[in-house]
Structure 1
Amino acid sequence: MRPTAPDPGDTDAWNAYLAEGNAKQARKRVAADVLLRDPTGRVLLVNPTYKPDWDLPGGMAEANEPPEETVGRELLEELGLKITVYGLLVVDWVAPHGPWDDQIAFIFNGGTLPQDQADRLHPRDEELAEVAFVEPEEAGARLGERVRRRFTAAMTALTAGRPLYLRDGVPAP
């Protein structure tokens, strides 16, 4: 049975009521990656030390962290790189799989890095083994299936000039 809502004028009781409801709601894991290119159109991939496939730069959001700030934090930590986010390319609802609950995954447009900056990129922490700028076709071969579908959609969104919403890597109807 749902408790009766208190009078919203009773701020303490109202906030306690809302907090109880909030505690019962589902929590989502949030991943945020970025599509970064060099002046020749190659895309930046990272090779994480903790999983088998290459990935886009980015990572998991911390509690109450906006996804675009996640990208900025992760790139600064892992690559020593400060970027400007130029907009959203993809939102993907990822169904539960293996031991994981569902998640929301974002890809943002990080634009194009100047060649001298792209040439100097290297891992700055133990989470990355290496980084590489590769042709988009090669990126597809290096990425795992889930990220590959998301990456392909991000390239489509970049060309189309509008973000795409996916469900498990497939454009939603």
Structure 2
Amino acid sequence: MADLGEDEARFAYYAEGNARQARKRVAADLIIRDEAGSVLLVNPTYKDGWDLPGGMVESNEAPRSAAERELREELGLEVTAGRLLALDWVPPDGPWDDLLAFVFDGGQLSAADVLDLQIKDPEISEFAFVGIAKAVTMLGPALADRLLRANAALDSTTAAYCEHQGRATC
């Protein structure tokens, strides 16, 4: 049996190393399509511009679970997020630390599911299904690029990894 002093020293060593490691903000979004192939966008009340459904990951929450939770909270929709389509590192901006942005496949909704969508959260003012070309004009440049790369990944077996440093580097 290990000496208690050794265990405490090892724990302290690991805790010190953990305290020095990077802490990242993490976001998790979904690409959700209707039967026509249009993508779901939401219009948040707390910032300018449209967004993909999803949101910020809470402490000790898995990104996929966060995307599912945010969708449930905002639109009352229960989906099981599919595979990872894109991961984007976004550098610090203003008061915000750097960010890891995950985009998962949210699948395709039936016409009945689309009709059942309702805004459940005052953070969302409206939602719309739009074609990719229109979606790109409704999103900020970094998110538009992320959407294009994630959408392209739907037709491949790999996910896109990007680093946004003023422009996408993938």
Per the normalisation by structure 1, the TM-score is 0.90
Q: CA deviation at 1:126?
A: 0.8
Aligned to 2:168: 170
Deviation track 1:82-108 (CA, whole Å, cap 9, x = no partner) reads: 101110000001111222111100000
Aligned to 1:32: 28
- Contact kept? 1:8, 1:14, Cα under 8 Å: no
Aligned to 2:84: 88
Q: 2:121 is matched with which residue: 115, 121, 125? A: 125
Report the Cα distance in structure 2 between the residues aligned to 1:149 and 1:8, rounded to whole angstroms: 53
Aligned to 2:136: 140
Report the Cα distance in structure 2 between the residues aligned to 1:151 and 1:84, rounded to whole angstroms: 19
- Contact kept? 1:122, 1:130, Cα under 8 Å: no
Aligned to 1:3: none
- Contact kept? 2:142, 2:168, Cα under 8 Å: no
- AA aligned opposite 2:125: A
Aligned to 1:150: 146
User: 2:53 matched to 1:51?
Assistant: no
Report the Cα distance in structure 2 between the residues aligned to 1:101 and 1:112, rounded to whole angstroms: 33
Identity of aligned residues (%): 50
Q: Give the 4+ runs in structure 1 shifted more than 6 A.
A: none
What number of residue pairs does the alignment pair up? 166
Report the Cα distance in structure 2 between the residues aligned to 1:8 and 1:145, rounded to whole angstroms: 54
Per the normalisation by structure 2, the TM-score is 0.92
Q: 1:15 is matched with which residue: 11, 14, 28? A: 11
Aligned CA RMSD, in angstroms, stands at 1.7
Q: Structure 2: 5+ residue runs without aligned partners? A: none
User: 2:99 matched to 1:103?
Assistant: yes
User: 3-state DSSP class of the match of 2:73?
Assistant: helix
Q: Structure 1: 5+ residue runs without aligned partners? A: 1-6
- Contact kept? 1:164, 1:171, Cα under 8 Å: no
- AA aligned opposite 1:109: D
Q: CA deviation at 1:8?
A: 10
Deviation track 1:39-80 (CA, whole Å, cap 9, x = no partner) reads: 110100000001111000000000111100110110111111
